[in-house]
Every structure is written in structure tokens, then in C-alpha cells.
Structure 1
Amino acid sequence: MSGTHKILILGASYGSLLATKLLLAGNDVTLVCLPQEAELINREGVRVRMPLKDGGMVEIASRDLPGRLEAAGPGDVDPSAYALIGLAMQEPQYRSPGVRELVAAIGRAKAPAMSIMNMPPLPYLKRLPGLATGGLEAAYADPSVWAPIDPTYLTLCSPDPQAFRPQGEPLNLLQVSLPTNFKVSRFEKDEHTAVLRDLEAGIDAARWTVDGDAVELPVKLRVHDSIFVPLAKWAMLLTGNYRCVTPRGPRAIRDAVHSDIEASRAIYAWVREVCVALGAAERDLVPFEKYAAAANGLTSPSSAARALFAGAKAIERVDLLVQTIAAGRGMRNATLDETVGLVNERLELNRRDAA
């Protein structure tokens, strides 16, 4: 298989990063988003700022790329018309009216879908040998959303690149703060994995012109045969992102990791042990030292912490998911238990305030 593809991505914020990389490689992308976002994107496109290897910064406008970009509402797309569906919204958003129905349509169409969420959809967890998923529903905002999806047609991509919408900037601008790679597991079907490898090759070959020179941009797509590779993100999330939540308020990921490096090393190692207990090999996972070095550049609180202290009534609960999976194997960790407790308390407070 070779050539370009039509890709549908649910979520125009983080999804615009992958969309930009795909557009640069000549693929056509449709972003599913809110009406005001769709209107803006269809009028002006999207822009992504990302750092270069030489320390500079480049801004890429989708209108200047070879692929075609459009934006639409969830009721305006046909999943069967696309070679791949990207799931790039936050997990609680999939229960929203319109989006829920689109997920069901994706399931009916048996369209290959790649989750780019920190929270793995329930059907993906069913691909992990020996993992009983029946007790994991409580970690999801609405587990019934995922019932129409056949695990055969779903894979997981670790959203390792860090990006954010700068405050005060338009909704169609995304800035990359950590330009690492997307790491995706193969599908069960070779024909669907072939699409991933096609996209991987296209992104690798694409170049962007800076001052007359063809430049290789960071943030690649890496396809792996192991279904456990995306789970490497769990240790990072539970060491950094969720530990941004403190009784006093949110703190930066850098501070969550480096204020007590030995405590961070311990929780990171424990989560790795959970992944190994599920079947991951050491080579599937990321060494603590590599993560800790990257965390030095993460000077803002995680999106989960920011959302909690902004009044969110639901966030992605990877903390609760890993705690539940580990407990099923007789594994507990006091640091994780404390984190889960803090998140639970803040969510309960937010829900009471909103009542």
C-alpha cells in the first residue's frame, strides 16, 4: 500500500498536531470539532508552532501544506469514507451528544480507529491478554460509549508530544512544548497496519522549507508491533501529570517530578512493574532518566490539573484505571492511592459547587 489517505480526526485541539503532520505528507484530513472551531478552521485553517533542532521555532499554516484540511461537526461525516479515524478528544468528551453517535457509527462501519488519548478506550484493553476489563468501567466517564467498538478495529497511540493552546491566541493555534514522537501499536489486521506504516513513511519523508532550506520537522509517527508500547505513557502520567494535583493547587509537571526525585523514581518504577505484569517487555517502556530529563522542560501544570482547578466535573482517570488494574493483581502503591484520593476530592468538590 502506498499513496495518500483521507483521515478523520475527532478533536481539533491536540488533533491539529497530528493533522498538520499528515497534511504536510499530502494526506487529506477532516477535523471533527465544535461549530465555532469548525467555522474558524474552514475559514483560516490551523497553525502549529513547533521547535526545531537548532533551537528555533517555526509556525506551520495548514493552508500552505499539500494536503487538504476541512472541519465539520460530528453529524456531518461518514466514518466509512476514511482510511483511518483518529480519536483525539479527552475521554469524557465522547459521551457528548453527537460525538457518542459518531463513535457508534465508527463501530458500525468497522472503520479502523487509532486512539490518541491518554486514557485507553475500553475495547483496546480487551486486546491485552489475560486482562479482565469487567471491573474497569468505573474509571470511565461513560463506559457504554465504547460498546459499539470492536477491539479488532481499534489501536492505541501514545500522545507523547506535549502541546497547548496559548492563552489569548485564536482557537486554531497550537504550540508544541515537547516535540517527541507518536508511538502507535499495530492493528490486529495487516491491512489496517499497512495504513499506519504508509502514514509513518509519508511523515518521515515530508520536509518544510525554512529560509530556503528543506528542513525535517520533529514529531514523527512510529508504528510498533507490541501492543504494550503505548502503555509506557502510564508511568509518565502517574509520576508527573496527576501528581501536579496537590491540596494547595496545581503545580508544574517539572516540580511534580523533580521536587522529590526519589519519590518520583519509585512511583515510576512501580507503574513499570504493573505494565510488565500485564505482559510488557522492558524494551516497550521508557527509562526513568529519559522521562525525568524531558520533564525539566514541562514548566506548566498538566491539562488534568488545570482542568480540575478550573472546576471540571470529569477528567480522564488514568490514575484510577491503573490503580484498579494493579489491585486486580494484588499490587498497591501508597503514592498512587494518595493521588487518586486527591483527584477524587477535587472532582467531588467541583460537582458539589456545580450542583
Structure 2
Amino acid sequence: MSAKQYKILIMGASYGSLLATKILFGGHHVTMVCLPAEAELFNAEGACIRLPVKGRSGLVEIDTRKLPGALKAGGPADFNPSDFDLVALAMQEPQYRSPGVRDLLEAVALSKVPCMSIMNMPPLPYLKRIPGLDTYVLRNAYADASVWDAFDPASMTLCSPDPQAFRPPEEKVNVLQVTLPTNFKAARFESDKATTILRDLQKDIEAIRYDAGDGQPVELPVKLKVHDSIFTPLAKWAMLLAGNYRCVTKDGPRSIKEAVHSNLAESRDVYDWVRDLCVALGADADDLVPFEKYANAAQGLERPSSAARALFAGAPNIERVDRLVQGIARQKGLNNPVIDATVELVDARLELNRKKV
């Protein structure tokens, strides 16, 4: 374990509970911000994470009440960000404009506490760390870009949320099931001091050996990898545009597997085009993931993306990485017809949903 026990605030308790659980193994104190009913359940029963482990049949179940760290939960008005060493953003981007959450986010910004996003949608302050990018013209990709205005870009970093997980609908909301146990990939902060927190957490997570009840400690997947390049977390963009957003069709949602493999050549074209865009921004090709590796992983993703599910469940807002990538490409004088068509499909469905609200 690290010499220091960190206090970490995580805004969001669904996907956020996965990161929280990994951190708890290091003996740290984790606080999650969530809805009242969720907070009551987490405080009473902890979080339950189920994940596949290589070489074992079935899923390994982790009960956070048995881990060295301490977990608690509450509402956005219950905590002062200045009391924490690190804040993690694990809600969907449109949620940050909601009452209470918006106030807490502003308090996080003003506190200057290091803040790491594990959203698919990179916060605007993080994009300001990319040289030569005009972030003002990208504001229309956000549900409410003004919630990010108080942040100092130096206090913000991005962690690619590569692991895939969902809440089984038949279970209590403190249960999260991992379907793709890949790694969180975080870019360093501008300061060495803030980055040290991430590197300490990385070491703690890499050291985890867990006894699932049979007396045989196993190494658990889903690690935190800290990178010096600010472009490494952008590797997720190609995956989102080739898979997640192409789950949206005129007739309804389809699985990520189908979105990628029903037309593999088109998927590859979109994926490689987005990778090339990231390279044009300054990424090294080695920072990014080859299409073959992603396509192989997509074989196991037999559910529609969370964005597609939300869209066809009537959500008036979803994260718009599709629109963000389109806007960044236009700054480079580039466009992709498949991505343009995807943006139009999502726009049309959102317009329909908003008319029903």
C-alpha cells in the first residue's frame, strides 16, 4: 500500500463504483456522490463488483466491505471538495448541469483539487491542454459548456474509461458487472505533485491479489495506467465512433458487436480516420490502439452502448463525443461522411426525444 492514505471523492456511483473498488484495495478513503437511495444502500451494504478473471470460470465477486479502505456515499451537498486529495468525475456529461451537482462541480473547480475525469466526453478544460485546439467552437457539443468555465486546465486530467460494465437490471443498484475488464488509461497532470497521487494509486492497484474464497489469491484485471502523453486517453475516441455511436440506427439500437462487425470495412475506415485525427492533434501512433485489437474485443460486446440505450429510452441529452470529434476534425479541414451521418442520426433522435419531454 502507499505510504499515504488518500481521500478521494468520486462524483457518480454507477461506473464510479468500479474505480472506487480498485482504489479501496490500497487502503484509501473513497466517497461517492450519488442519489439518496443509492447512498443509503452503499452505506449499508457497500458496493458489489463482479468481473471475469482470466483462467477462472464464472465471475469473481468483490464485496467492498471486506477491503482495507473505507467507502461512504452521500449527496452533492454533503461534501467539501477541499477535504479531498483527488476528485474523479464519473457521471455522464449532461448530469453536471443538474441542480446540486452543478454547485459541487463549481466548488471542485474553485478548490483547485486535482480532478480526473473518467467520462467518455472529455471536459473542456482538458481539451485546453491540447496545443492549437480552439475549444470555444466546441462548446456546442456539450449539454452546458458553462459548467466547466471555472476550471484551471492544469487541475484537470482525463482517464480513458476503457473497461465496460453495467448494472444488472435485476440486481440492487450497488451491483456492477464488468463485461470488458480492460485498463483505465490516465494522462498525467501538469504538476508532478498531482501526478504522484495517480502513480501511487497505480502501484496499489497493480499489487492487488484477491482471494475469491478458495484460498488461491488471483491477480485482478482492470488496472490504472498513468501515461505522460496527454493524448493517450483519446484512444477511446476511435472506439466510440466506430462502435458505440454506430449502435444508433434509424430502427433502434444494436449491439456494439453488430455495429462493428456487420460492416467491418466501414468500421475500420471510421476507426482509422479517427486515429489519424488524433495523430494530427499531436498523438503518437503508439499511444493509440490498433483496430484489430478493438475489433477482437468488440466480439464480446453484445449489448448496445450506453449512449444508444439512453437515446432510445427517451433521454433528451446524451454525451456527444460524435459531435465533438466532428467539430475537432472541421478545425483541421477534415470530414468523414459516416461520422456526419451518425451525428445527424443522433441529432434527429434527440430532437424527437425533446419534443416528448
Normalised by the size of structure 2, how large is the TM-score? 0.98
Partner Cα separation in structure 1 for residue 101 and residue 52 of structure 2? 33
Q: Which residue of 1 aligns with 2:279?
A: 276
2:133 corresponds to which residue? 131
Cα deviation, 1:14-69, whole Å, max 9, x if unaligned, reads: 00000000111211100000111001111111100000111431110111111000
Cα offset, 1:2, TM superposition: 3.5
Q: Which amino acid aligns with 1:37?
A: E
Counterparts of 1:136 and 1:120, CA distance in 2: 11
Give the Cα separation in 1 of the matches to 2:136 and 2:149: 12
Which residue number in structure 2 is paired with residue 12 of structure 1?
13
Figure out how many residues of one structure are paired with residues of the other and give that number. 354
Secondary structure in 1 matching 2:136: coil
1:166-190 CA-partner distances (Å, limit 9, x unpaired): 1111000000000000000000010
1:188-337 to 2 correspondences below 5 Å: 188-210=190-212, 211-337=214-340
> What SS does the corresponding residue of 2:68 show, helix, strand or coil?
coil
Aligned-pair CA distance for 1:151: 0.4
Distance 1:96 1:200 in 2: 32
* Alpha-carbon distance in structure 2 between the residues aligned to 1:166 and 1:90: 18
Determine the C-alpha separation between the residues in 1 that align with 2:108 and 2:302: 37
* Alignment-mate amino acid for residue 235 of structure 2: A
Check whether the contact 1:103–1:148 (CA below 8 A) recurs between aligned residues.
no
Alignment of 1:181-192 (within 5 A): 181-192=183-194
Can you list the C-alpha shifts for 1:52-106, whole angstroms capped at 9, x where unaligned? 1114311101111110000011111111111110000000000011110111111
Equivalent position amino acid for 2:93 in 1 = E
Gaps of 5+ in 1: none
- Does the CA contact (< 8 Å) of 1:241 and 1:304 recur in 2? yes
Q: In angstroms, what is the RMSD of aligned CA positions?
A: 0.8
Distance between the aligned counterparts of 2:230 and 2:352, measured in 1?
Answer: 37
Q: Secondary structure at the match of 2:230?
A: coil
Offset, 1:353: 1.4
For the residue of structure 2 that corresponds to 1:213, the secondary structure is coil
Distance, in Å, in 2 between the alignment partners of 1:94 and 1:158 is 18
After alignment, is 79-88 or 9-18 more displaced?
79-88
Separation in structure 2 between the aligned mates of residue 134 and residue 120 of structure 1, nearest angstrom? 14
Instruction: Find the aligned partners of 1:134 and 1:113 in 2 and give their Cα distance.
Output: 21
- 3-state secondary structure, aligned to 2:217: strand
Which aligned pairs between 1:161-176 and structure 2 lie closer than 5 A? 161-176=163-178
Counterpart of 2:353 in structure 1 is 350
Deviation of 1:309 after TM superposition, in Å, equals 0.3
TM-score, normalised to structure 1, is 0.99
